[in-house]
Amino acid sequence: MGQAEQSQAPIEELFNPHSEDYLHDPVSQCLALLQRAPLVWYEPWQAWIMTRMPDIMDCWKREYLSSDFYDWEFAPPRPPQDQWSNFERALIGHSLLADHDHHRLVRRVTAPAFSRNVVDKIQRAIEPDVKKLFDDLGTPEEFDYIAEIAQHIPFISITRMVGIPEKYWPEIKQVIVTFTETWNPTISEERRAAAREDSNRAIDILLQVIAERRGAPQQDDFLSALLKVEAENEGFEEWDIVTLILALIGAGSDTTLVAQQWSVYALLKHPDQIETALSSPDAFANAFNEVSRWSTQSKMGFARYAPQDMEILGHSVRKGQMVLLMPHLKDYDPEYYPDPERFDVQRTFNPDVQFGYGPRYCIGAALAKRQLYLTISELFRRFPQAQLASEPERDGSDHNAVVFKQLMVKTRG
């Protein structure tokens, strides 16, 4: 720690994303952390925090830090391969945490499975379920968007996108809720162990679905696209398919729920921009970047781990220490975004780092944005005069985001 840092107030006195103050004013705390230093030691999490976008993008691009949870100094021991459950076989042995060469192979050969044509087909598969949610809702004068619509979307989206038959939905539902907890370093080991058990049950189901699909191939879902990739590419295996589906679950579960509520809230707060934001899927993709920037709802960021003792941005980082990449700290920095207080769905994002950057850019970003576009377009098509019924109470209980306890919407002005 440099002399200037030593003379400043401890950063934990200025930045605490689990505090009541952060719920209502995250911006001032994020800016305080951003302005402290490029790399800051955060004692409550026993972790370094990387604060500046050029450094974060360089880390994403060069991958000099590990994404492997088991490289964390406080992680449980990595189980030997002969003791792996299906969870370890997927998360250690294959593409989520695999070596860089294999990860690049997976991204290259699966690119067609994320093409616009496939995304369009998946939207058509999801659309009837979304419409049914609104049909079942009817035409109330007021309703809670989170309870009635948003909390159902992650499950519908993932099962329909992947192509999981409805007979397996009751068994697969729990893992969609808990999967991201399997690698969250801030929760208890008991809670992580329960999430791993959920994941093992889900993997058993996925393997069964894959076996059934091989005997009766279809063409309009993500699993069918991946089976075609497997048939055409040596080195891409069934376990890569399982791991990519788990990645979709991880990227599309609680994060989708957070994205749903903040997108609706932001547009209801700025009704003059609704038409522009929803004018096309591409327009909404940019608008969602602005929703995410404006909302400043993130708490923790992206966890990485030092694979060896190393020097990072002038600091000695010990092997196994966590380094948190926090790109959201820049979201209200006027040097990065002019007039950051203003909400503008046509704001330019160059580069677009909402879903990461470089080799680990989220391969399912287009899918995520499309299902958001579909659902929110349906909301405003059904209720063109929708308004916030009241300012929602914020909830700090989510492990990685500020969310709402309710989001009450009036359907008529």
- Domains belonging to the chain, first-starting first, are 3-410 (1.10.630.10)
For the residues 98-118, what does the mean pLDDT come to?
71
pLDDT of residue 5: 52
> Which two three-digit tokens encode residue 79?
């189980």
User: Is the pLDDT confidence value at 248 over 90?
Assistant: no
Would you mind telling me the total number of residues written for the chain in this entry? 413
pLDDT at 251: 64
**Residues 6+ positions from 379 with CB-CB distance below 8 Å:** 134, 145, 149, 264, 386
Q: Is the pLDDT of residue 3 over 60?
A: no
pLDDT of the residue at 363: 66
Residue 131 confidence (pLDDT): 95
Q: How many CA atoms lie within 13 A of 293 on its CB side?
A: 28
Residue 98 confidence (pLDDT):
55
Q: Is the pLDDT of residue 382 over 90?
A: yes
78 pLDDT band, cuts 50/70/90, is confident
Kindly indicate the confidence band of residue 185, based on its pLDDT and cuts at 50, 70 and 90. low
Residue 195 in contact with residue 173, Cβ under 8 Å? no
Residues 10-38: tens digit of each pLDDT: 999 999 999 999 999 999 999 999 999 99
Is residue 302 scored above 90 in pLDDT? no
Whether 288 and 263 have beta carbons less than 8 Å apart is answered as: yes
**CA atoms of 199 and 211, how far apart (whole Å):** 18
- What's the pLDDT at 101? 72
Q: Is the pLDDT of residue 252 over 80?
A: no
Per-residue pLDDT for 355 more than 60? yes
Q: What is the DSSP letter of 222?
A: H
- Whether 409 has a pLDDT exceeding 90, the answer reads yes
Distance CA(174)–CA(151), nearest Å, equals: 13
Q: Are 131 and 175 in contact (CB under 8 A)?
A: no
Look at residue 5 and give its three-state secondary structure.
helix
At residue 47, φ and ψ (nearest 5 deg) are -150, 155
Cis peptide before 351 (omega within 30 of 0): yes
Q: What is the pLDDT of residue 359?
A: 65
Residue predicted with more confidence, 110 or 282: 282
d(CA 354, CA 210): 31
Which spans in 216-253 are helix H?
222-232, 238-252
The pLDDT score that the predictor gives to residue 182 is 75
CA atoms within 13 A on the CB side of 269: 17
235 Rama sector, left if φ>0, alpha if ψ -120 to 50, beta otherwise: left
**pLDDT of 108:** 75
Average confidence (pLDDT) over 352-376: 76
Q: Which two tokens stand for residue 155?
A: 């499950």
- Two tokens at 368? 């995520």
**CA–centroid distance for 58 within its chain:** 20
d(CA 155, CA 395): 22
pLDDT band at 392, cuts 50/70/90?
very high
Residues in a beta bridge with 310 = 317
**Alpha-carbon span 98 to 93, nearest angstrom:** 6
Give the C-alpha distances (Å, rounded to integers) separating 328 from 33, 50, 105, 262, 364. 11, 11, 29, 15, 20
Per-residue pLDDT tens over the stretch 135-173? 999 999 999 999 999 988 888 877 887 888 888 888 887
**3 state DSSP class of 142:** strand
- The per-residue pLDDT for range 188-215, each reduced to its tens digit, is 788 878 888 888 888 899 999 999 988 8
Q: Identify the three-state secondary structure at position 273.
A: helix
Question: What whole-number percentage of the chain has pLDDT above 70?
Answer: 89
| Cα 206 from Cα 200, distance rounded (Å) | 10
pLDDT, one tens digit per residue, over 42-61 is 999 999 999 999 999 999 98
Task: Quickly list DSSP for 22-51.
Answer: HHH-HHHHHHHHHHH-SEEEEGGGTEEEE-
Compute CA distances 53 → 38, 57, 71, 328, 345, whole Å.
9, 6, 24, 9, 21
Compute the average pLDDT of residues 286-304. 91
* 397/351 Cα distance (integer angstroms): 31
Please give the average per-residue pLDDT across 260-265, as a whole number.
95
